[in-house]
Amino acid sequence: MIVQPEITRVATILVCGAGAMGRQIGMVCALGGYSVTVWDIDPDMLEQAREELRSRMDRRVEKGTETRAQADSAFERLTFTTELEGPASTADYVIEAVVEKVDVKRDLFARLDRHAPEHAVLATNSSTIVSSRVADATNRPDRVCNMHFFNPALVMQCVEVVRNPQTSDATAETTIELTRRINRTPVVLNKEITGFVANRILHALRDEAIRLYEDGVSSVEDIDTACRTALGHPMGPFELQDLTGLDVGYYVKMARFEESGDPADKPARILVEKFEKGEFGRKSGKGWYDYPKK
């Protein structure tokens, strides 16, 4: 008789990657009452994460989204480190949010598998790299899944929970329950598909916006204006790309092309040009728009 793994009782969470997504995911989990460690190989990135989260939480307190006591309590549960093995060895749940490169993720998942407790779930925040592409780097493919947050994670409510063919019911249920306990709304996918639900729809809009611009139909500014004023979107597709990062968009398209082999899935010529120039959006000061230095 096959014994199904039990649902993991999550108390301690490890977030791998202190970039724009990882740091906010860490704070969301800390606000949910969990003991959280945010890990990154770059100590400067960790310091930036700490400072930005302080600033963000101060603004949320000013707006009344959180009380000062809630913010301070969350920071008490949140730690930052460049050391992986120790936090991994005590983690009940791991959320990976590093760069969108399969080889980097596979290496990290193999390391996590060596050090994390047997019961721990290893989830990837990736919206383009399905978890089956990293699960076989571990000895626990049944405890691997996608747990995809949206940017900015402190604001967006949706979390896509995606099962790979080997993900156990217990792992899916653990992830769904964790999502609810951090006050987010789970959307469950029982079948892997690149881009999942929300981003497949969003990427179709983005790709069409870029085609309209490249074909000289309309300007970046006017396409964004049309989406805001005619479709009711809070941000236009170019504004949104600048916020999430054109480098992320480039890696997403390359991952989809590598999976499908369809030339239509390659990043647009102008996106490749901007990527090669380092024009990544807000983070670099220039993307589709220019952003003055603070």
Structural tokens at position 265:
């899935």
Please tell me which residue in 35, 126, 127, 146 is annotated as part of the active site: 127
Q: Which residue has the tokens 């039990």?
A: 6
Please tell me which residue in 100, 160, 239, 279 is annotated as part of the active site: 160
Backbone phi and psi for residue 160, each to the nearest 5 degrees, phi listed first: -85, 125
| Cα distance between residue 169 and residue 197, in whole Å | 21
**For residue 152, cis peptide bond before it (omega within 30 degrees of 0):** yes
The reply to whether 127 belongs to the active site is: yes
The neighbour count for residue 119, using CB atoms within 10 Å, is: 18
The reply to whether 85 belongs to the active site is: no
Please tell me which residue in 131, 148, 239, 279 is annotated as part of the active site: 148
The reply to whether 148 belongs to the active site is: yes
Please tell me which residue in 73, 199, 218, 284 is annotated as part of the active site: 199
Question: What positions carry a catalytic annotation?
Answer: 127, 148, 160, 199
